[in-house]
A and B are shown apart, each in its own frame.
Chain A
């Protein structure tokens, strides 16, 4: 019996004993259940209230409420604050509750997944089967595979879709599926079996979130469960995102507090003066309360005015903002134009608090694989012996129209393979020797592993998707790569099975940029070297007789590269048997040499790979997602900068840059930063685009945020004399992100139209985003599909996940998700723009209506001895924000559109006001206040003058306080409603209903509250009885209302009219630019050898080691996924093995 202790850097040691629950439970390790919910039934009320009162606004209103309970200063009844506060609190509580219920549900769902994940305890041994998710962090014990290997896909963790190999310790692996034996040990950081200890490392741990692939079963020991797993530990740090409007709003609310305090101070001082000059002599009719002198009275009046004027800080602001954002999020969820029918995925606004920020995006950081591209390679065109085949690639053409080539004659063909040029098939079937040699080469020269689960159902696992695409092409054109042993390759050539002796594999690496295979055709014994590789490399090694063909092929290559295809050149060479024998001998010597093995092998390869005969070239398309180039063009027109951050290598990234129109041939220059030292990077970054630019980047320092305590530094955009592109690789980026170089990097990058960072790690992605965030003060968006994008999705202001694919990690941490990159333009240009517009309109209007409302009290103070007498009825004050003006403004901020979606697309430049923050900023806020000030002056002094000393038409009183209050509040309501009408551009029936309904409701409620019945029931609550009847039947009251409304509105109309005239003249909208057709690239920058990043595993293929135990046994397919939602999309599947299996460890 063994014991296991894990030492984790962060934690004390873990002891556990396999399948010994009582022992393991004694340590109280977290079990596998996951809890993300915040409340339960009992804790909800206190916790939620506590949370809510932590918000400044709510706390402020609670404070106000308490103030109102003090009789000496209570200038308003308690309900004027209590009713709105309770309403606001309950709305928020309902929302929080429903959120938490959802979290409870999803927790339950995760915990109850198939095998009841929550029941898994630390120390349990569990069995996993193929395609199952790993339930907890496991120590791998044994597996069905040779050498105790298991294959896992870690897409959920790091976004890499290639398979990783994990290997169990031999000692446990040998136990196989014998559970009794497996359970017989304990683990201790090292694993102890029968007294012997074995070292454990990360290689033996399967992390939660991985998926088991190509492995029939495996056994694992649970070492970390639930919240302790790496996945949960890493995903726990979700930062709460706030929009820039939120920040601005906080600052403004703070300013308003200051403003309120100063208004109240003015009132208090004035009150003191009044008390001394007037009040003291007025005591005959209003004696002071004992002990209250002018000073105390002034102090009390300060607080009384805090209560009266509190409406400048609008209580319903935050709730309304939340409601508007929620509504606008629903529009995103509901949008059919962002719904992807192929895998039934609608767009989803996962965070409902960031909408308006979508209208302010300045930088987009995009992943490449899976986001811009589909991660599918298709064999698209080829050039065989100087003749080009295949459709010319056209980005804007619908492929469905051309008829596909029918491969029915070939029963081994891959049905998902699509090709559009019939002549190629005919050529091959007619027996054209070059064409046959071409495909034979493709069928032989590769490191693909075949899998034939059922007769005729071939599956290829390729190291890179390109290779798979080529082998599949050969397969469909009649050269089916059927099986492989370490020494042979079996190919079905035009229906005839042929076996080739594999004499040598001259593998790919980054220096060679080519790969060759030497094969001997059985039974003839013809020796041939097949070689494929980057054009520049192969061309150097061609036989001079090929010169003519080379020229034609080069033209083809240029054409392909111009279309953004990845190209390879194929060549062959017949070998002499004697020479081959000699070479083989030397090869053997070299490969067994103790020192200088690599060099010697390279020399040998170099020697044999020359005087090659050119066969042709292939062009593989790295398939872009639909509509990517158009989307990028649109976004570029909207002045959004797009940076591609990819883990791919430079050539591939550049290629994609070209094919989706981000890099263009007409660019003045494309800088490539690939230095490996800090100095080198600095030098390369400082190549000046514009010579007159200053040496140092100009940084503007400012202060912002709450209390202006936040220092901001902004790197200014500099003018550039043309379009530039920047490509920087991961190594250089690491240096460039250092403190002293990052500003230089940012400066250079921002001068470029296009920035592509390749071979970047997830961490670097986040760093780049943060760099831009910090020094550009711009709103950023990150879009990606894999877990390697999670960090940048979380770092950016807005994270977008591509949903509908296998890995959900990106989506789970994103704020918005949809299935296709192209929906991004709709999200930003339509939804974002509208949301921003609506939010800004809302805020401007909301502040206007509250300030106007409040300032009238201020003016009235000068006529009522600064006694904190309100102008309006208390009920009106209570209901003004909640009932009378709530719905019209909500209607506007949910339905308004200045232009419809088609116009938004047609004129992407309409997006720029959001980026520049034009619609709502401090200036706009001050304008709002000025406007309110004007309106409130009108609203007070017109009724004041109109009512001065006047009477009713029957001589009775009308200049009394109650009539005046009614008049003032009616004027106010009419004015703010007309203002709303002026602000509304898009009048739907709902808007009409809300506006007219609110006015009607006002009159209905007012008449009801001022009715006899209400007074008789609640005598002291409704003292305004009869006021409405007595004053609203007077013509001069209505004439006053009319005058006031028009006087408030007409200047606004006139001002806007003149402004529009001025603007239309100044910035007449340009006609939409004609869509730029993709310009052909007369490229010198051709795509290189597009194989995987690391060295190939030709070594492994021929080493026997890999195939040692069970060579190509017919067992479960390595990679079956026909039921996956992606299948429709994916013509071929490959298995990618990037990691070499480790040497079997001997204990």
Chain B
């Protein structure tokens, strides 16, 4: 026995792997699977599509462009570059109850937050509260790294520098009088941004951390004065700042400004006339941009987006259609016409 083994010492092992006989499943694209599969997928898609479409239809959206391009528009006077602290009132009315909670967005178009050099122009270490980067910001922030006097800019970089600085106040006109709608500016940024990614340096008062630095050139007030009323919303963890820093994927975008969640308007905005008081600071006309405000409520599928519902409906129908085509093809080749 031993000798025999020795004689065939080079005999390859007889395993399923070496002999390429591993047990395997060999699916085939047979008519019995493909055609019913298409029908089922088609039906499922139509189902999902209907659900999405109906949901999306149920979402209310109100968009108001306040850029002031046209001469008769309320904010046209503010487009003059030389006017400081310009405020304009934009009036609008709501016909039916705007179901709450209502979300208040500002939107920009033709604004390239996704431009590569713009996107990298920030300093993650600085923004996470690392004081050493306050003195020497990362070179990626260039040209908003140091000011003319060679003082470091904090927060540095294009993204922070270009922070949106229009502010809004919303009033309902009740019997000719303005009734302010309370806007909630908390909880509009991602939890992770607010708690992990952005942190203020652990220096109290916060102002001291910024000694020897200058505010971004476009800012009217330094970072530690963004919200003096609430230390948890000040500095780098200011929610408006966080929302802006989460740069948009596409050149047309909207960002959450406030939520209307409490007080009289917790159930939504009742029908009526409203005035939006815009303090107009942000210049967009130079690059052909547009500014708008958007009121919207949400559903389980998020904000209003009719594309998804329609796409599901269209593709579902196409699947069903394709299954019929395939059935015909199959029948034609399976049972060829007798000549």
Partner of B188 from the list A284, A863, A956 (CB cut-off 8 Å) is A956
Closest to B14 in A: A336
A603 an interface residue at 8 Å Cβ cutoff?
no
Which residues on B sit within 8 Å (CB–CB) of A1012?
Answer: 192, 196
B38 and A1050 contact, CB distance less than 8 A: yes
A958 an interface residue at 8 Å Cβ cutoff?
yes
Which residues on A sit within 8 Å (CB–CB) of B255?
Answer: 957
* Chain A nearest Cβ from B42, distance in angstroms: 9
A1093 an interface residue at 8 Å Cβ cutoff?
no
Number of interface residues of A (CB under 8 A): 91
A1025 and B115 contact, CB distance less than 8 A: no
* Chain A nearest Cβ from B238, distance in angstroms: 15
Q: Which of B33-63 contact A (CB under 8 A)?
A: 34, 37-38, 41, 45, 48, 52
CA of A333 to CA of B10, assembled, Å: 10
Closest to B118 in A: A286
CA of A1030 to CA of B197, assembled, Å: 14
A278 and B112 contact, CB distance less than 8 A: yes
A864 an interface residue at 8 Å Cβ cutoff?
yes
B190 and A959 contact, CB distance less than 8 A: no
A951 and B296 contact, CB distance less than 8 A: yes
A345 an interface residue at 8 Å Cβ cutoff?
yes
A1039 an interface residue at 8 Å Cβ cutoff?
yes
Partner of A989 from the list B22, B48, B52, B117 (CB cut-off 8 Å) is B22
B9 and A344 contact, CB distance less than 8 A: yes
* Chain B nearest Cβ from A901, distance in angstroms: 8
* Chain A nearest Cβ from B199, distance in angstroms: 10
Closest to A347 in B: B12
Closest to A304 in B: B116
Interface flags for B278-315 (1: CB within 8 Å of A; 0: not) read 00000100111000000010111111110110011001
Q: Which of B226-274 contact A (CB under 8 A)?
A: 243, 246-256, 259
Which residues on A sit within 8 Å (CB–CB) of B317?
Answer: none
A958 and B302 contact, CB distance less than 8 A: yes
A23 an interface residue at 8 Å Cβ cutoff?
no
The interface stretch among B85-93, B173-181, B325-333 is B325-333
Closest to A341 in B: B8
CA of A947 to CA of B304, assembled, Å: 10
A952 and B114 contact, CB distance less than 8 A: no
Q: Which of A948-987 contact B (CB under 8 A)?
A: 948-965, 985-987
Which residues on B sit within 8 Å (CB–CB) of A988?
Answer: 22-24
Partner of B128 from the list A956, A1019, A1057 (CB cut-off 8 Å) is A1019
Q: Which of B177-216 contact A (CB under 8 A)?
A: 188-193, 196-197
A863-B10 contact in complex given A948-B305, A1057-B326, C-beta closer than 8 Å = no
B68 an interface residue at 8 Å Cβ cutoff?
no
Partner of A1026 from the list B26, B191, B302, B307 (CB cut-off 8 Å) is B191
B143 and A289 contact, CB distance less than 8 A: yes
B221 an interface residue at 8 Å Cβ cutoff?
no
CA of A1023 to CA of B30, assembled, Å: 47
A951 and B303 contact, CB distance less than 8 A: yes
Partner of B20 from the list A331, A956, A1062 (CB cut-off 8 Å) is A331
Which residues on A sit within 8 Å (CB–CB) of B112?
Answer: 278, 282, 286, 864-865, 867
Partner of B142 from the list A289, A895, A1058, A1060 (CB cut-off 8 Å) is A289
CA of A216 to CA of B204, assembled, Å: 103
A284 and B300 contact, CB distance less than 8 A: no
CA of A1050 to CA of B255, assembled, Å: 36
Which residues on A sit within 8 Å (CB–CB) of B312?
Answer: 1039, 1043
B283 and A344 contact, CB distance less than 8 A: no
CA of A1077 to CA of B12, assembled, Å: 34
Interface flags for A1032-1047 (1: CB within 8 Å of B; 0: not) read 0011100110010011
A285-B158 contact in complex given A869-B116, A1036-B308, C-beta closer than 8 Å = yes
* Chain B nearest Cβ from A383, distance in angstroms: 41
Q: Which of A307-345 contact B (CB under 8 A)?
A: 331, 333-337, 339, 341, 344-345
B315 and A1026 contact, CB distance less than 8 A: no
A1053 and B34 contact, CB distance less than 8 A: yes
* Chain B nearest Cβ from A240, distance in angstroms: 28
B339 an interface residue at 8 Å Cβ cutoff?
no
A868 an interface residue at 8 Å Cβ cutoff?
yes
Which residues on A sit within 8 Å (CB–CB) of B23?
Answer: 988-989
A1020-B196 contact in complex given A865-B112, A1039-B52, C-beta closer than 8 Å = no
Interface flags for A272-311 (1: CB within 8 Å of B; 0: not) read 0000001001101111010000000000000010000000
CA of A333 to CA of B13, assembled, Å: 10
CA of A1026 to CA of B194, assembled, Å: 11
A1054 and B158 contact, CB distance less than 8 A: no
Which residues on A sit within 8 Å (CB–CB) of B247?
Answer: 960-961
Which residues on A sit within 8 Å (CB–CB) of B286?
Answer: 281, 284
Which residues on B sit within 8 Å (CB–CB) of A1082?
Answer: none
A386 an interface residue at 8 Å Cβ cutoff?
no
Interface contacts (Cβ under 8 Å), in number, total 272
B248 and A961 contact, CB distance less than 8 A: yes
Interface size class of B (residues with CB under 8 A): 35 or more
Partner of B24 from the list A954, A986, A1015 (CB cut-off 8 Å) is A986
B110 and A946 contact, CB distance less than 8 A: no
Which residues on A sit within 8 Å (CB–CB) of B250?
Answer: 863, 944, 947-948, 959, 964
B220 an interface residue at 8 Å Cβ cutoff?
no
A238 an interface residue at 8 Å Cβ cutoff?
no
Which residues on B sit within 8 Å (CB–CB) of A960?
Answer: 246-249
Partner of B249 from the list A959, A985, A1016, A1025 (CB cut-off 8 Å) is A959
CA of A954 to CA of B299, assembled, Å: 8
Which residues on A sit within 8 Å (CB–CB) of B27?
Answer: 985, 987
Which residues on A sit within 8 Å (CB–CB) of B77?
Answer: none
B26 and A953 contact, CB distance less than 8 A: no
B124 and A1023 contact, CB distance less than 8 A: yes
A344-B8 contact in complex given A942-B311, A951-B296, C-beta closer than 8 Å = yes
A336-B333 contact in complex given A864-B116, A895-B24, A946-B305, C-beta closer than 8 Å = no
B18 an interface residue at 8 Å Cβ cutoff?
yes
* Chain B nearest Cβ from A138, distance in angstroms: 34
A1096 an interface residue at 8 Å Cβ cutoff?
no
CA of A770 to CA of B20, assembled, Å: 35
CA of A954 to CA of B283, assembled, Å: 30
B171 an interface residue at 8 Å Cβ cutoff?
no
B12 and A334 contact, CB distance less than 8 A: yes
A75 an interface residue at 8 Å Cβ cutoff?
yes
B246 and A962 contact, CB distance less than 8 A: yes
B29 and A339 contact, CB distance less than 8 A: no
Closest to A1064 in B: B333
A1016 and B196 contact, CB distance less than 8 A: yes
Partner of B298 from the list A345, A867, A954 (CB cut-off 8 Å) is A954
Closest to A990 in B: B22
A284 and B158 contact, CB distance less than 8 A: no
CA of A990 to CA of B114, assembled, Å: 41
Q: A286-B158, A331-B20 are in contact. List 8 more A-B contacts (CB 8 A).
A: A865-B251, A867-B112, A946-B311, A955-B188, A1023-B124, A1043-B308, A1043-B315, A1061-B31
- Interface residues, chain A, with chain B CB atoms under 8 Å away: 71, 75, 278, 281-282, 284-287, 289, 304, 331, 333-337, 339, 341, 344-346, 834, 863-865, 867-869, 895, 897, 901, 942, 944-965, 985-991, 1012, 1015-1016, 1019-1020, 1023, 1025-1026, 1029-1030, 1034-1036, 1039-1040, 1043, 1046-1047, 1050, 1053-1054, 1056-1058, 1060-1062, 1064-1065
> Could you list 15 A-B pairs, sorted by A, with CB under 8 Å?
A71-B139, A284-B283, A336-B18, A339-B10, A863-B250, A950-B305, A961-B246, A963-B249, A989-B22, A1035-B301, A1039-B52, A1046-B45, A1057-B326, A1060-B29, A1064-B333
- Interface residues, chain B, with chain A CB atoms under 8 Å away: 7-14, 18-20, 22-27, 29, 31, 34, 37-38, 41, 45, 48, 52, 101, 103, 105, 107, 110-119, 121, 124-125, 128, 130, 138-139, 142-143, 158, 161-162, 188-193, 196-197, 243, 246-256, 259, 283, 286-288, 296, 298-305, 307-308, 311-312, 315, 319, 322, 325-326, 329-330, 333-334, 336
The 8 closest A-B pairs by CB, nearest first: A1026-B192, A964-B249, A334-B18, A951-B303, A955-B103, A285-B162, A867-B116, A869-B116
